[in-house]
Amino acid sequence: MGSVATAVLDACTVINLIHIDNSEEFLIKKLNKYLKIFISDKVFTEIKTNIFKNDIERDRIENAVSCFINYKVSDSLFEEFGKDFLKKVRSISNYKKDNGEFFSTALSLYYSQVMPSKLFFYTDDFTAKEDFSSFFDLHQIGGIKDTADLLLLLYRLDEQFSKRELIRLLSSLHSEYAVGLSNLISKLRDYINTLSPKLRKDKEFNEKLRKLIDKLHKHSLEDLGDFKSFFERKRGNHHKQISCILNEYRIVFDLQTRNNNYLDKIQNLIKYLEEKELYKFIGE
């Protein structure tokens, strides 16, 4: 079986795949077998910046990252659609940020025009998913999916991909976010206990911080981005530490949009797989 779909991968999806795949590049081999993959230059830079959580598995992770180099696409490709291609995409999508999600969307638009197979953009950044979903729909580009969806697709396509392995990978994906959530709560609690006298007098700052901790503790993840934006707007030396903490745990702020709780989705998939079956076509 050749490539069955075209896939544009965002940084968070690649990072998650590498973190959960500790069995001799199991997932990388499946990706290469079934999908035609493209990763923008900008995304690859973000991957290298954010992939390392610690030095424990640095060698394995560096080797895994190198496996994705062949999928990297130079930004000069966009010139084939005209020098103002990116400018037009930015204008029509009304998106101001110069990040990997924007370049992935532009790449998706390009390859939806020139590739014969169905295209999916895989990202675990659900804010970006909301930002670009109407753009994808209007231009009939394809679907915006997440890493859990990608695991399901690979499982369904590959005869050697066992249900037990799928459940393990989904559980590891869930842990990537759950552990980050727990660690962020702990960091924020330590931070609030060491606030400077100036910040202790800032009632709005304290109220927002305590409400953020409470929401995280209750897994009430709606509008987390609003809290992050509030603290990012703060300037001055007194606010540097909170900005550093939130940036360290950016993965947590990708968890929730108003309509999609990723942790719940993954848990529900695991429960379904433990009780029922997904159809797998086994060829002759």
CATH of the structural domain 5-161, one choice from 3.30.1490.190, 3.40.50.1010, 3.40.50.300, 1.10.10.10: 3.40.50.1010
Alpha-carbon distance of 127 to 273, in angstroms, equals 28
The fraction of the chain above a pLDDT of 90, given in percent, is 47
Q: Phi, psi at residue 219, to the nearest 5°?
A: 55, 30
72-73 and 35-40 beta bridge pairing? parallel
Give residue-wise pLDDT tens across range 91-139: 999 998 889 999 999 999 999 988 888 899 999 988 888 899 999 999 9
pLDDT of residue 1: 56
Strands (E) across 115-239 are located at 119-122, 143-145
Q: Using the CB atoms, write b or e for 84-116: b if 16+ within 10 Å.
A: ebbeebbeebebeeebbbbbbbbbbbbbbeeee
Q: Which segments of the chain belong to CATH 3.40.50.1010?
A: 5-161
State the first-to-last Cα distance of the chain, in angstroms, to the nearest integer: 12
Give residue-wise pLDDT tens across range 69-79: 999 999 888 88
| 119-122, strands of its sheet edge to edge | 72-73, 35-40, 5-9, 119-122, 143-145
pLDDT of residue 284: 44
Give this prediction's pTM: 0.83
Give residue-wise pLDDT tens across range 26-71: 999 999 999 999 999 999 999 998 888 666 678 888 888 999 999 9
DSSP assignments along 69-96, one per residue: GGGEE-GGGGGGG-TTHHHHHHHHHT--
Q: Which residue has the tokens 């609690």?
A: 189
Q: The tokens of 237 are what?
A: 């030396």
The interaxial angle of helices 26-34 and 11-20, nearest 10 deg, is: 130
Average pLDDT taken over every residue of the chain? 87
Give residue-wise pLDDT tens across range 135-156: 999 999 999 999 999 999 999 9
Alpha-carbon distances of 129 from 102, 195, 242, rounded to whole Å: 11, 35, 26
Q: The tokens of 82 are what?
A: 């005209």
